[in-house]
Structure 1
Amino acid sequence: MTRPLLGITACNRPFGEESAQVVIDRYMEAAMRHADAAALLIPARPDLMSAREAATRIDGLLLTGSPSNVGPERYGDADGKGPFDPARDEMSLALIEVMIELGKPVFGICRGFQEINVAFGGTLDRALGDADRALSHHSPDGVPLDAMFAHSHDVNLARDGVLARAFGRDSLKVNSVHFQGVKRLGAGLSVEATAPDGVIEAVSASPGGTPVLAVQWHPEWQTDRDASSQGFFGIMGRTLRGEAFAAQQAKEGA
């Protein structure tokens, strides 16, 4: 049986004196293994291809995390802290619009979650990783990668939300590796999960019946070791195969 084809967004990164299109393997591997999907990497080069050219060829879209931040001008702010990737912003926001127009599902992780909020008219808070917060959403600077992703907290799942129905529970423990997050929620998005300090950690929507689901945490990190992370990609796989969010109740253990 032919597997669904998932488009995965790339980023522009320096590569010596050149530039490279980059997707960290863990995003691709987690989706291909646990959503049982084939993958097509979409370059962040809107100068060379349009979002529509990619969207018409894929069955769903995954907007990945990235070290870069969404440019503040995209949500009406005057300044912000980089690094930035304007071409990634342009391609991702256009892809979201076209995928929804075509009725094809959209998923987001970390930066992708923030892109979805901005695409729906929301704004971003850029101070969520500050050490003086009651709950810092990022580990201290300079720690190894394993320690960075070990930084975690619980999230409360919205009653009758997509995640709560899928997992059959009302909370999850998730990693927390982000400096930015939702400030004003985009119109049409529903809150799926919140941190103990009230920060929104997951959202969903169904504009025109198109499934949209995004999380601020990183389910692609060591997915094989975490049942709830596998469950996120399980939702993705079933959605790519045409199963509606509403029919996915209590199918995942955690």
Structure 2
Amino acid sequence: MSDATRVPNVWVVSSHRILQNPSGHQQMYTVMDEGGHRTLLNMGLQPVCYPRVPPERVEGLLEGVDGILLGGSDTNVHPHLYGEEPAREEFEFDTERDALARQLIQLALAKRIPVIGFCRGSHDFNVAMGGSLHQWLRDRPGGVKHWEEPEEGPEEQYRERHFVTATPGGVLERIAETDRFRVSSLHSQGVNVLGNDLVAEAHADDGLVEAFRWKDESLFARGFQFHPEWNWRIHPVYGRIMNGYVRACWERMARRLGTEATPLQPVVA
């Protein structure tokens, strides 16, 4: 591949779900975050996916990767990873994703590969760094509704549901060019104790952490409880967040290849 046609590869972490197949039977599927990978394509990057990678292969595969994306999922990070038992019987877990996400995040930080996590992906990030989660936000006081309703369609689910306030003087406040903005919110879990070396960048009005970053702000390694990959074209703050991640991936590729990487025109998908 010529330098003129190279684009950054972003590893989109897969999820593993038991879903109904066309015959009406339950079957295990490996799925890739749709909103996240379409946004990567639309912004000129190339999503890749390596499901069920044996631990000994992960580091080698990362040599050809310029970013990590951990998207949302209906499953939850297993609470055993932060020393708790499941709070509700109906919770679904994905221990294969748990294990891969933990290894990927820790290696990506060591190798200075950009990381972005949305919703469950931010939970992966927080727990990988030794943090914990509120398992059921509906029992938490504060008056902010963080969750969607079953009858809502996707567009309604991903609408801006409540405000967040950026940490004064923080990285997100500078990127957003404002200290307060509305965000999407469709989750029943969230950060309880922030992980080691993570810095809070925004909170909801009930005090819940809505955005955080790795301690070294020169590396784009950030988690968002909301979904900047949705409506990034029309939500100014979402667009700035995603453009910052895209730039970080191009810079990583340029370092990896020792070239001056020139962004290509995005693919509309």
Aligned match of 1:37: 45
- Which residue among 69, 77, 86 is the counterpart of 1:79? 86
Aligned match of 1:232: 241
Q: Check if 1:126 corresponds to 2:135.
A: yes
Q: 126-135 vs 93-102, which deviates more?
A: 126-135
Q: Check if 1:10 corresponds to 2:10.
A: no
Describe the shift of the 1:203–1:154 C-alpha distance in structure 2 as closer, same or farther (beyond 3 A).
same
Aligned match of 1:216: 225
* 8 Å Cα contact 2:55/2:100 also seen in 1: no
- Once residues 117 and 178 of structure 1 are traced to their aligned partners in structure 2, the CA distance between those partners, rounded to angstroms, is 15
Aligned match of 1:150: 159
- Which residue among 58, 69, 72 is the counterpart of 2:65? 58
The Cα shift of 1:47 comes to 4.5
Describe the shift of the 1:138–1:131 C-alpha distance in structure 2 as closer, same or farther (beyond 3 A).
farther
Aligned match of 2:99: 90
Q: 171-180 vs 208-217, which deviates more?
A: 208-217
Aligned match of 1:195: 204
Stretches of structure 2 lacking an aligned partner (at least 5 in a row) = 253-269
- Once residues 120 and 48 of structure 1 are traced to their aligned partners in structure 2, the CA distance between those partners, rounded to angstroms, is 18
Aligned match of 1:104: 113
The Cα shift of 1:226 comes to 2.0
* 8 Å Cα contact 2:72/2:118 also seen in 1: yes
Aligned match of 1:183: 192
Letter aligned with residue 42 of structure 1: Y
* 8 Å Cα contact 2:10/2:65 also seen in 1: yes
Letter aligned with residue 155 of structure 1: V
Helix, strand or coil at the partner of 1:66:
coil
Stretches of structure 1 lacking an aligned partner (at least 5 in a row) = 244-254
The Cα shift of 1:152 comes to 0.7
Aligned match of 1:251: none
* 8 Å Cα contact 1:155/1:172 also seen in 2: yes
Larger radius of gyration: 2
The Cα shift of 1:207 comes to 5.0
Letter aligned with residue 71 of structure 1: H
Deviations along 1:77-115, one digit per CA (max 9) or x if unpaired, are 122442111101011111111111212111111111011
* 8 Å Cα contact 2:163/2:180 also seen in 1: yes
Helix, strand or coil at the partner of 2:137:
coil
Q: 139-148 vs 116-125, which deviates more?
A: 139-148
Aligned match of 1:117: 126
Aligned match of 2:32: 23
Describe the shift of the 1:166–1:127 C-alpha distance in structure 2 as closer, same or farther (beyond 3 A).
same
The Cα shift of 1:209 comes to 5.8
- Once residues 20 and 53 of structure 1 are traced to their aligned partners in structure 2, the CA distance between those partners, rounded to angstroms, is 25
Q: How many residues align?
A: 241
* 8 Å Cα contact 2:142/2:206 also seen in 1: no
Letter aligned with residue 201 of structure 2: E
* 8 Å Cα contact 1:113/1:215 also seen in 2: yes
The Cα shift of 1:133 comes to 5.1
Helix, strand or coil at the partner of 2:47:
strand
Q: CA RMSD in A?
A: 2.2
The Cα shift of 1:208 comes to 9.9
Describe the shift of the 1:67–1:137 C-alpha distance in structure 2 as closer, same or farther (beyond 3 A).
same
- Once residues 29 and 137 of structure 1 are traced to their aligned partners in structure 2, the CA distance between those partners, rounded to angstroms, is 25
